[in-house]
Structure 1
Amino acid sequence: MGVSKGQTLFKIGPPWKHAMNTRQPLRPAASPPTEVCVVTADAAFEAREVSIRRAIGELLLVVRESLRLEVVFVAEIVKGRRVFKHVSTSLDASPVQEGGGNPLEETICQRILDGRLPAVIPNVRALIAEQGLSRDHDALGAHIGVPVHMPDGRLYGMLCGFSLGGSIALDERDVRRLEMAAGTTARLLAQADGRETTQTDPALF
């Protein structure tokens, strides 16, 4: 077959057109890099601890406002000392600070634990001389305190609260409410240690 003048048998275009006309296997488009968030055990523990500290703080706030106290705290007993772990206060300058502490024998907490003093004390100042307490207790009015026992029965420390100045009418009903709060606190502390997983509601009052 002849080819007439001006007629082409093959039409050759630019290389890119040729490539487009060539059948090639399709390749899936590359996916954007995926960011993987790895939560370490330490990070998870820290997040849980922060959450539990917040829950205990909210619980102490409810207790303090319900009982009309200026200070409510959870203290751990460590090697003969009372160490303040959680504090809720309405004071700008509280006599109780987290991380602070003193010898247990010098405290009202010890006297409640061993039975020398009841859970409710209407006026601390009236008992300072009788109980051999330091003059640091002069500013205290009413005081209430109960032990905090962990779910396994171990004594953790004390949950206490006090007012400054005048006394406040506290009774056995308030003691029972504080004991409920102490139980909830113990379960939250156990969760922080990884020993308890039961969720608790801090709104007890």
Structure 2
Amino acid sequence: MHLLDYNPDDLDVTITELLVATSDSADHELPSVVSTVLQLLRNRMGMDVAFVSQFVDGRRTIQAVDSLSDFSPLEPGMSDPVEESWCQRVVEGRLPEKIDNAAPYIASGKAPDPGFPIGTHLSAPVRLAGGKVYGTLCCFSRGVKADGDIDRLRYSANLLAQKLSPQATESTF
């Protein structure tokens, strides 16, 4: 019997330790441990790609990404107009945070065609203290995975926001 309410090997605990316990102060730069967090999230959630985007000066820029070795459609530094991104549409509520099957959204024009296959797409806004949006924490798979855990992604996005909040005030849409 455990005295704790969780398994110490649980992914949420690991992510918390990486994002919260690795430093005593907030940092306006993306913490180096984010790559590890993305890899853990992607692997545990069974997704093909996990990434963090940032919204600055009307653009969405990929800040960190982890993907399968045979499928890497995104790279850090890639940028596009924020208005053309799925990320912005999720933040504005025009797309849901959890899309089990993206094909109907793409076919109807509700989501722009990314030029590569997306089956399941999960996206959680990274909201800084005061409500400003840093960007999003997202993951997706090429196939449909109806068991995508949006709550875990939201939890991780909130931890990342706490890590970034005190000094990351200069960037929003």
When normalised by structure 1's length, the TM-score is 0.62
Q: C-alpha displacement at 1:136, in angstroms? A: 2.7
Q: What's 2:133 paired with?
A: 155
Select the residue among 58, 67, 90 that pairs with 2:45: 67
Q: What's 2:146 paired with?
A: 169
Q: What's 1:98 paired with?
A: 76
Q: What's 2:153 paired with?
A: 178
Q: C-alpha displacement at 1:99, in angstroms? A: 0.5
Structure 1 unaligned runs (5+)?
1-47, 196-205
RMSD: 2.5
Select the residue among 95, 104, 117 that pairs with 1:139: 117
2-structure distance, mates of 1:58, 1:109: 21
Structure 2 unaligned runs (5+)?
1-25
Structure 1 outlier segments of 4+, above 4 Å: none
Q: Taking every aligned residue pair, what percent have the same amino acid on both sides?
A: 33
Residue by residue over 1:74-124, the C-alpha shift from the partner in whole angstroms, topping out at 9 and shown as x without a partner, is 100112211001111123451111000111221211221121221111121
Q: Which has the higher contact order (CA 8 A, sep 6+)?
A: 2
Residue type at the aligned position of 2:144 = S
1-structure distance, mates of 2:168, 2:79: 25
Give the 5 Å matches for 1:45-64: 53-64=31-42
Matched, 1:81 2:31: no
SS in 2 for 1:62: helix
Relative to 1, partners in 2 of residues 1:52 and 1:124: Cα closer, same or farther, differing over 3 Å?
closer
Structure 1 residues 113-122 or 88-97, which shifts more? 88-97
- Report how many aligned residue pairs link the two structures: 143
1-structure distance, mates of 2:84, 2:168: 32
When normalised by structure 2's length, the TM-score is 0.72
